[in-house]
Structure 1
Amino acid sequence: MKKLFSALMVALLLPIASAWAQDYSDGNGYTTIKNPVRTANPDKVEVVEIFWYGCPHCYSLDPITQAWKKTIADDVDFKYMPAVFGRNWLAHAKAFHVADILGVEEKLHADLFNAIHQDHKRMNSEDELAEFFTNYGVSEDEFRKQYNSFAVNSRLSQADAKIRAYGARGVPGLIVNGKYLVTAATAGGNNNIYSVVDYLIEQERQASK
Structure 2
Amino acid sequence: MTSFTKPLVRAMATLVLTTTLLGLQAPAGTADAAPIAGVQYVRLQHPVPASPREVTEVFWYNCSHSYQLAQPLRDWAARQNPPVTIRHIPAAWPDQPQMMAYARVYYTLDRLGLSDILEQAVFHAVRDEHWDLTQPDALSQWAQTQGIDPQLLMDAWNSPEVQQEVQDAPALRERYEVHEMPSVIIGGTYRTSPFIAPGGVPGTIPVVDYLLHHSH
TM-score range, shorter chain: 0.7 to 0.9
Q: Deviations over 1:79-132 (max 9, x none)?
A: 211111321112221111111121222332101111112112222211111222
Equivalent residues of 1:172, 1:183 under 8 A apart: yes
Between the aligned partners of 1:157 and 1:69, the Cα distance in structure 2 is 29
Q: Deviations over 1:126-164 (max 9, x none)?
A: 111122222334322211111121211232244432210
Aligned in 2, Cα 1:157/1:46: closer, same or farther, shift over 3 Å? farther
SS for the counterpart of 2:117 is helix
**Partner residue in 1 for 2:36:** 25
Letter in 1 for 2:42: T
Equivalent residues of 2:61, 2:67 under 8 A apart: yes
Question: 172, 176, 200: which is aligned to 2:182?
Answer: 172
Question: 89, 93, 103: which is aligned to 2:99?
Answer: 89
| Structure having the higher Rg | 2
Between the aligned partners of 2:149 and 2:192, the Cα distance in structure 1 is 38
Letter in 1 for 2:152: E
Identical aligned residues as a percent: 25
Equivalent residues of 2:77, 2:84 under 8 A apart: no
Between the aligned partners of 2:89 and 2:203, the Cα distance in structure 1 is 20
Question: 109, 117, 133: which is aligned to 1:107?
Answer: 117
Higher helix share: 1
SS for the counterpart of 1:187 is coil
Aligned in 2, Cα 1:165/1:143: closer, same or farther, shift over 3 Å? same
**Partner residue in 2 for 1:7:** none
Between the aligned partners of 1:133 and 1:27, the Cα distance in structure 2 is 42
Between the aligned partners of 2:183 and 2:203, the Cα distance in structure 1 is 13
Letter in 1 for 2:212: I
Question: 186, 192, 196: which is aligned to 2:196?
Answer: 186
Question: 121, 127, 151: which is aligned to 1:117?
Answer: 127
Residue 53 of structure 1: CA displacement? 0.4
Between the aligned partners of 2:133 and 2:163, the Cα distance in structure 1 is 19
Between the aligned partners of 2:167 and 2:134, the Cα distance in structure 1 is 19
Residue 57 of structure 1: CA displacement? 1.3
Aligned in 2, Cα 1:111/1:75: closer, same or farther, shift over 3 Å? closer
Between the aligned partners of 1:157 and 1:198, the Cα distance in structure 2 is 32
Equivalent residues of 1:45, 1:75 under 8 A apart: yes
The number of residue pairs the alignment matches comes to 187
Q: Which moved more, 1:134-143 or 1:114-123?
A: 134-143
Aligned in 2, Cα 1:160/1:74: closer, same or farther, shift over 3 Å? farther
Alignment of 1:54-73 (within 5 A): 54-73=62-81
Q: Deviations over 1:14-54 (max 9, x none)?
A: 9xx98834122311320110011122xx3x51101100000
TM (normalized to structure 1)?
Answer: 0.80
Aligned in 2, Cα 1:110/1:26: closer, same or farther, shift over 3 Å? same
